[in-house]
Chain A
């Protein structure tokens, strides 16, 4: 298998792909990405918190007009995973309002984004309908 790299550093690859949030030790607020301090309480200590792989779609849009190079239509949404909101595309489903609905159950999935000149494959994530 070729070398792989996650699209973003909060995506953990391997046998059990999942997302990891930075959780404020003081107040519990969660973030994706490097922090200077907590926007809620200004605390500066963070620990890693594993995000579950299943959640509920709380909002979405079906993007029909986007920058050149972005395949459309695609579904962008927010998934609530046990109280933590995650932004992601909804994939492996027809991008129509008939097939995508508010409140639908979804789960994390990963897929290749592309391979660079060194042969390294970038892996992205999205959410697909459960069942």
Chain B
């Protein structure tokens, strides 16, 4: 049995537009912030997990060049939108394996102004039809056999839930978005902090029905970083460091197991349910114990299915669960009190650490006006299409 691991320090930059900062600047700000928050320096760190997708390659070594070249191993990781959680898993696994007693994980992205991240362009048809690829396609398939855009893929994921269980509608999905935009007004680090009515959301620019623009994750710049420490090392640190440390009660990464249709429309459900089951078992707690959840609302249509996948409600009951008000910040299981990806923003590789920062901030009682009073346990969830699911359960607790 490996020993417990803890979050010692954690930091998230402001999400939004940072025209004056490059990818390394943002990563450095997050990393130095996390180190300072934990009361340690690069000299204490034994391993670095680093995630960045759009910067053209490994971010770890360029980051070290700016904040401390101590010669430690760097693992540059990529797992789509689960990249941040994957980088954090690297640090956790290294600590759990006993190779190091402290690790740093960083996720960063410059995305402000980006449009459709997939399906944003399509190759020209060639002058002579020639069958290519695994499906012998003679021309690009996006728009001819389905859609490759993320708003369209995740729209279908939400609509599929509606077909299976009923109760969904354009308005229902817009109401989920209304909740997250409302929550964002209390989060000074969110990209957008603007309350929007259901009507405003429904009447905004349609991207892929039923997802309008405010129901899609916001492309923005941002970074987050976390310092992971072993239980035995933490015991040697100061009373203040121990007081603010947050216990990682579960840390799970899964991929999508084969299911009928999973290669036709991505199945984001089974791997999330599998990750949640493993996480609840690791932590020895159940969904009813959670004081807050930060889940991967890359689109409003996605948030609905994850209520079910994370077992926050009974199977098939996500619509009723949402309509009961449970997931608003004054409800029984507040979901995305940060504003979620729809308003806080989604700098892809940062997201899987930024959601941990949000939960830790509440567990430490440092969330200011948006504090969930008395929060003791929280869960974070990300999905990287392809697919990967990361789930972490975090607990307040003095070491």
Size bin of chain B's contact surface: 35 or more
Assess whether A7 is in contact with B258, with CB atoms less than 8 Å apart: no
Cβ–Cβ contact A78 & B160, under 8 A: yes
Instruction: Knowing A62-B208, A67-B143, A102-B159 are in contact, say whether A7-B149 is a contact too (CB < 8 A).
Output: no
| Given A85-B264, A97-B170: A76 touches B156 (CB 8 Å cut-off) | yes
B236 an interface residue at 8 Å Cβ cutoff?
Answer: no
Whether the Cβ atoms of B208 and A114 lie closer than 8 Å is no
Partner of B145, one of A8, A67, A97, A122: A8
Q: Is A89 an interface residue (CB 8 A)?
A: yes
Q: Given A61-B156, A76-B147, A77-B156 in contact, is the A116-B128 Cβ separation under 8 Å?
A: yes
Known: A8-B141, A97-B170. A63 touches B147 (CB 8 A): yes
Stretch at the interface among B13-21, B35-43, B132-140, B372-380: B132-140
Q: Chain B, 242-280, contact with A by CB distance < 8 Å: what is the 0/1 string?
A: 000000000000000010110111000000000000000
Q: Name B262's closest neighbour in chain A (CB-CB).
A: A39
The answer to whether B208 touches A77 (Cβ under 8 A) is no
Interface size on A, residues (CB 8 A): 52
Which B116-159 residues have C-beta < 8 A from chain A? 116, 119-122, 124-129, 131, 133-139, 141-147, 149, 151-153, 155-157, 159
Which of B135, B146, B149, B163 has the largest number of chain A CB atoms within 10 A? Answer: B146
Residue A26 at the B interface, CB < 8 A? no
- The total number of A-B Cβ pairs within 8 Å is 167
Q: Assuming A7-B138, A62-B209, A78-B265, is B145 touching A88 (CB within 8 A)?
A: yes
Task: Select one of A5, A10, A63, A102 contacting B129, CB under 8 A.
Answer: A5
* Minimum CB–CB distance for B216 against chain A, Å: 10
A residues 68-99 in Cβ contact with B at 8 Å: 68-71, 73-74, 76-78, 83-89, 97
Cβ proximity bits B155-176 to A, threshold 8 Å, 1 near / 0 not: 1110110110000001000000
Q: Which residue of B lies closest to A86 (CB)?
A: B264
Q: Which residues of A contact B137 (CB under 8 A)?
A: 7-9
Please state if A61 and B136 are interface contacts (CB–CB under 8 Å): no
Complex-state Cα separation, A114 to B260, whole angstroms: 32
8 nearest A-B pairs in the assembled complex, by CB-CB distance: A9-B136, A70-B143, A85-B261, A61-B155, A59-B160, A62-B209, A33-B134, A33-B135
> A-side interface residues toward B, CB under 8 Å?
5-10, 29-34, 39-40, 58-71, 73-74, 76-78, 83-89, 97, 102-103, 113-114, 116-118, 120, 122, 124-125
